[in-house]
Amino acid sequence: MESSSHLFLSDRPEGDDDHHADTDDGDNDAADDTDDGDNDAADKRGAEAAESYDDVKYLVRRNRAASRKRLVSRIKHIHNEIHKPVADAVRDHALCLLPARSIFRLSAVSPSWARHVSSPIFAHTQSRSHRSIAGVFFGSSVDASVAYAPFPPASAHGLPDPALSFFPASPIAVCSSSNGLLLCYAPSSGDFFVCNPATAAWVAVPRPPHNPGPEPAAVLIFVPGVYNFRSDYTIVIGFRISGARSGIFGFQTFSSSAGGWWISNEVCAAECLLPDSGIAGGGVAYWRTTMLTVVGYDPAEDSVRVTHWPMNYAVESRWEIGQMGDGGRLFCTAVTEEVVQVHKLLPKSDQWALVASMDLKQRSNTKSEEEEAWEVEAGGQLVFKKRPWPMRFQGGELEVLLWVQGRVVGVDLASKRVRVAAATEAFGWSTWDDGRGAKYVPYISTLAPVPPPAAAALTSS
């Protein structure tokens, strides 16, 4: 029995049991260390997650508080607007829609109104908000004088000095108008001026590099944009290249923000730019030509665009260009023997689209009274009884100007409303030769300031 018991004893050296016991203890300690490391990492990740969660909750609470604060502020503003006195509501929201002369009269209502009207921010807002045509400036071909024919009521659209006698030079010719500013020219000295006739503010413009001659084809571009607080403007003058008989025209541009002139490298073949046809629209200067085309020069892009007129081969049509609406789109009014049509130039295209048409029923016994010159039929259609002459126009409303028997007639294309300004009374003349050869400029009455040109810049070509 004793010998058999030795069969179950392992043949190991002494000390092996202690060695293995120590190894097992080491493995257990390593495992414990690993578990502790994993637990520490997990705890760290948990702490970071909790911290991130707390940050998210803080951001959500902060955003909700800010949103709640804005909502409460908006509700308070609406409440204050609802319960605002009528006088304050008119001062804050209605005054900017009126012409300049009406605003000057209403500034005497109270000291708060006077302070509100005298603010430069209000002048900037009013020049952007009021866009209807107030009247038309005419240049006499007899003595080179200037006269102004306002639309009624004269108390709203009149001017303190319609003859523009505040200029140092005389005589003065009105070349162009744009959103309340006028571009004037002194033929005797060759000087240009920019003014606001509503405020009698004016500045002199440096002379252009090329002499424009006695009748410059000049266009004033003034866009009262949101960020144009200084009321900066641009002047574009087309001039002949290589002699008086040349049909090639170049363009020289003045910028009030830059303070100098530059000459474009772009040219166009136009035979002749008609000086009294220039109009600004969408930041582009446009002229009619003797080739029955419209030339447009964009000073921002330094590009030229030539478009054919919309009447094709109806060469007997009377036509004129203008600008309507807030988008600065170019329009054309054409008058034939049977109809008065208004077309608009499509964007980025040479095509015209018909937007309005008014019939023309000529009668030999048409009298000179206003009620006999046109009539509105039962369907709301406006019918002229004498063939009118189209006129340049520029405004924010859909209104075209026509010359009818010695009167300037404004026709609203949407409502068919008709306004009349008696231009012959402005000059004291008994007749006007159907508008042919007339020098006129449409005018919008605004409070736009007239900024002085910036530091003179070098002229470059």
Give me the pLDDT at residue 101, please. 93
The dihedral formed by the CA atoms of 59, 62, 67 and 72, expressed in degrees to the nearest 10: 170
* Closest C-alpha to 403, from 382, 377, 416, 384: 384
Q: How far is CA 224 from the centre of its chain?
A: 5
Give me the pLDDT at residue 43, please. 61
How do the pLDDT tens digits run along the chain, 461 residues long?
444 444 334 444 454 555 444 445 555 554 455 555 556 666 666 666 666 777 778 888 888 888 888 888 888 877 776 767 787 888 888 899 999 999 999 998 889 899 999 999 999 999 999 999 999 998 865 566 788 999 999 889 999 999 899 988 778 889 999 999 999 998 888 899 999 999 999 999 999 999 888 889 999 999 998 888 889 999 999 999 876 567 899 999 999 999 999 999 999 988 889 998 999 999 999 999 999 999 999 999 999 999 999 988 777 888 999 999 877 899 999 999 888 999 999 988 889 999 999 888 766 554 544 456 777 776 667 788 888 889 999 998 999 999 887 788 999 998 888 899 866 555 554 344 544 556 889 999 999 999 988 754 344 33
- If one counts every other C-beta atom within 10 angstroms of the C-beta of residue 380, the result is 8
Helix (H, G, I), strand (E, B) or coil at 234: strand
102 Cβ contact partners less than 8 Å away, ≥ 6 residues apart: 155, 156
Give me the pLDDT at residue 217, please. 94
Q: How far is CA 145 from the centre of its chain?
A: 31
DSSP 273-335: B-GGG-EEETTEEEEEBTTSEEEEEETTTTEEEEEE-TTTT-TT-EEEEEEETTTTEEEEEEE
* Encoded tokens for 320: 């004129």
Give me the pLDDT at residue 246, please. 72
d(CA 191, CA 194): 10
Give me the pLDDT at residue 379, please. 65
